[in-house]
Amino acid sequence: MEFAQHLSDHRVSEQERTKILQNPGFGNFFTDHTAVIDWSADAGWHNARVEPYGPISLDPAASVLHYGQEVFEGLKAYRHEDGSVRTFRPGKNGERINASARRLALPELPVEHFVEAVRQLVAVDQDWVPSGDGEALYLRPFMIATEAFLGVRPAREVSFRVIASPAGNYFGGELHAVPIWLSQNFARAGHGGTGEAKCGGNYAASLAAQMEAEAHGCPQVLFLDPTDDFSVEELGGMNVFFVLEGGTLVTPRLNGNILHGITRDSVLQLAREMDLTVEERKFTLDEWREAVANGTLKEAFACGTAAVITPIAELRSAEGTMVLPETTSDSVWGSIRAKLLGVQRGTVEDTHGWLTRLV
Ligand code: PLP
Ligand code: COI
């Protein structure tokens, strides 16, 4: 697929960009361009282009605005010491957006076009890739239903876009353990619903719980499955892991409600190679509480593209606060994080072929 290039004549100045890259935060600033591919039921995928970043013109009847027919992805591009820019397992994001698209009745985009759109955008905006420790260019591919039509049926016109945003620590400041809020009033997903899809509606549905979390000083919210013994599912935007005595790593199994995290999958692979015992299984809130009470729970951490790996300090809820053990410098989360980030940043050998060079 050939991408036409319509380059911006009003790029952010070098001085301004340098200032932004000194403290990008997460999701606050956007690069100069966007990659776009249109789709229609008649023409299929067509009109691939890179164009200046800017507002999108949409008909007020566009179905994404009414019925939320939308899916998205998140991946990062890392600056390596030799100046090259690489991304991490982009084919997995391409496969996942297609799984999400099937659930939301959107068209599938061939994975090679997905990766090429990312490459095209990063190539023109490569100066935006930060090089600081823990920093990267966050890439946000998304697909929206643009057809103007108020009947409830799959749109016959769709647009796929990629935007990019320089990113530091998702939770702000230096890496630190975070408190999380236990959602008891809201579930994120139900069986047969869209929990496994990365669609905007799931995140809109998480916001009321997220507001509760923030009111209690927590930057993330934990969801349970109320229909399955209150087993732990995931956080609003991250998967979750537990480390038990003896080096057993437990993470909730893919029960149809939670996102198939690419970081989750990578953590599982790295942990197996580190000879940890790995269990993907049901892990209930009762088991968690008991393991804290009897001292067998050693660590809990969140993982995702945005969060990387972030330790959890405590679980707060309407019933009180459960403080988790303070982790030490030889923690399991710390050594997995070092390995994962090392591969992503090019300082640890990529034995799995996880990196794709973009520039
Ligand atoms: N769970 C949810 C709900 C998410 O939004 C994310 C982030 O994408 C994850 C888990 C982690 O997925 P990944 O590791 O692929 O970024
Ligand atoms: C990601 O990690 O890519 C996500 O989409 C999560 C979101 C909370 C930013």
Query: At 139, which CATH number?
Result: 3.30.470.10
Cβ pair 49, 5 in contact under 8 A? yes
Residue 42 Cα to ligand 1 midpoint, Å, equals 33
- In a shared domain, residues 182 and 139: no
pLDDT band at 330; cut points 50, 70, 90: confident
Cβ pair 78, 344 in contact under 8 A? yes
Cβ neighbour number for residue 83 with a 10 Å cutoff? 10
Q: Nearest residue CA, atom 10 of ligand 1?
A: 238
- Asked if residue 165 has its Cβ within 6 Å of ligand 2, the reply is no
- In a shared domain, residues 68 and 162: yes
Task: Give the residue numbers spanning the domain of 192.
Answer: 178-345
Tell me whether residue 172 is in a domain: no
Boundary (domain end) residue, out of 167, 194, 212: 167
- In a shared domain, residues 127 and 197: no
Query: What's the pLDDT tens digit per position in 63-114?
Result: 999 999 999 999 999 999 999 999 999 999 999 999 999 999 999 999 999 9
319 burial type by CB count under 10 A (0-12 exposed, 13-18 middle, 19+ buried):
exposed
Boundary (domain end) residue, out of 113, 134, 167: 167
Q: Specify the pLDDT at position 62.
A: 98
Q: Specify the pLDDT at position 328.
A: 77
- Percent over 90 (pLDDT), the chain: 96
Residue 170 Cα to ligand 2 midpoint, Å, equals 9
Looking only at the bridges linking them, the beta strands covering 178-182 and 220-225 are parallel
Residue 75 Cα to ligand 2 midpoint, Å, equals 8
Cβ pair 252, 234 in contact under 8 A? yes
Tell me whether residue 232 is in a domain: yes
Cβ neighbour number for residue 346 with a 10 Å cutoff? 16
Residue in 239, 257, 344 to alter for ligand 1 test, most ligand atoms within 8 A of Cβ: 239
Model-level pTM? 0.98
From the list 79, 4, 69, the residue with the least C-alpha distance to 34 is: 4
- Pick the atom of ligand 2 nearest to 307's CA: 2
Task: Give the mean pLDDT of 276-289.
Answer: 98
Task: Please tell me the distance from the alpha carbon of residue 85 to that of residue 102, in angstroms, as a whole number.
Answer: 31
- Residue 309, token pair as written in the block: 């790996």
Residue 25 Cα to ligand 2 midpoint, Å, equals 14
- Asked if residue 200 has its Cβ within 6 Å of ligand 2, the reply is no
- Asked if residue 219 has its Cβ within 6 Å of ligand 2, the reply is no
- Asked if residue 302 has its Cβ within 6 Å of ligand 1, the reply is no
- Return the HEC string of the chain: CCCEECCCCCCCCHHHHHHHHHCCCCCCCCCCEEEEEEEECCCEEEEEEEEECCCCCCCCCEHHHHHCCEEECCEEEEECCCCCEEEECHHHHHHHHHHHHHHCCCCCCCHHHHHHHHHHHHHHCHHHCCCCCCCEEEEEEEEEECCECCCCCCCCEEEEEEEEEEECCCCCCCCCCEEEEECCCCCCCCCCCCCCCCCHHHHHHHHHHHHHHHHCCCCEEEEEECCCCCEEEEECCCEEEEEECCCEEEEECCCCCCCCCHHHHHHHHHHHHCCCEEEEECCEHHHHHHHHHCCCEEEEEEEECCCEEEEEEEEEECCEEEECCCCCCCCHHHHHHHHHHHHHHCCCCCCCCCEEECC
Q: Nearest residue CA, atom 8 of ligand 2?
A: 237
Tell me whether residue 354 is in a domain: no
Residue 50 Cα to ligand 2 midpoint, Å, equals 24
From the list 196, 151, 129, 62, the residue with the least C-alpha distance to 359 is: 129
Q: Which ligand has an atom closest to residue 97 CA?
A: 1
Residue 293 Cα to ligand 2 midpoint, Å, equals 32
5 beta partners: 50
- Asked if residue 261 has its Cβ within 6 Å of ligand 1, the reply is yes
Query: What's the pLDDT tens digit per position in 115-141?
Result: 999 999 999 999 999 999 889 999 999
Tell me whether residue 50 is in a domain: yes
- Asked if residue 94 has its Cβ within 6 Å of ligand 1, the reply is no
- In a shared domain, residues 182 and 276: yes
- In a shared domain, residues 184 and 100: no
Q: Specify the pLDDT at position 329.
A: 72
Q: Which ligand has an atom closest to residue 27 CA?
A: 2
Query: What's the pLDDT tens digit per position in 293-306?
Result: 999 999 999 999 99
Total residues found in the chain within this entry: 359
- Pick the atom of ligand 1 nearest to 306's CA: 16
Q: Nearest residue CA, atom 9 of ligand 2?
A: 306
Query: What's the pLDDT tens digit per position in 33-70?
Result: 999 999 999 999 999 999 999 999 999 999 999 999 99
User: In angstroms, what CA-CA distances link 348 with 134, 263, 271, 335?
Assistant: 15, 16, 15, 12
CATH code of the domain in which 288 resides: 3.20.10.10
Residue 5 Cα to ligand 1 midpoint, Å, equals 31
Q: Is the dihedral of CA 352, 353, 358, 359 positive or negative?
A: positive
Residue 74 Cα to ligand 1 midpoint, Å, equals 8
- Asked if residue 90 has its Cβ within 6 Å of ligand 1, the reply is no
- Asked if residue 141 has its Cβ within 6 Å of ligand 1, the reply is no
Boundary (domain end) residue, out of 167, 196, 224: 167
From the list 181, 209, 183, 206, the residue with the least C-alpha distance to 193 is: 206
- Asked if residue 239 has its Cβ within 6 Å of ligand 1, the reply is yes
Total number of domains constituting the chain: 2
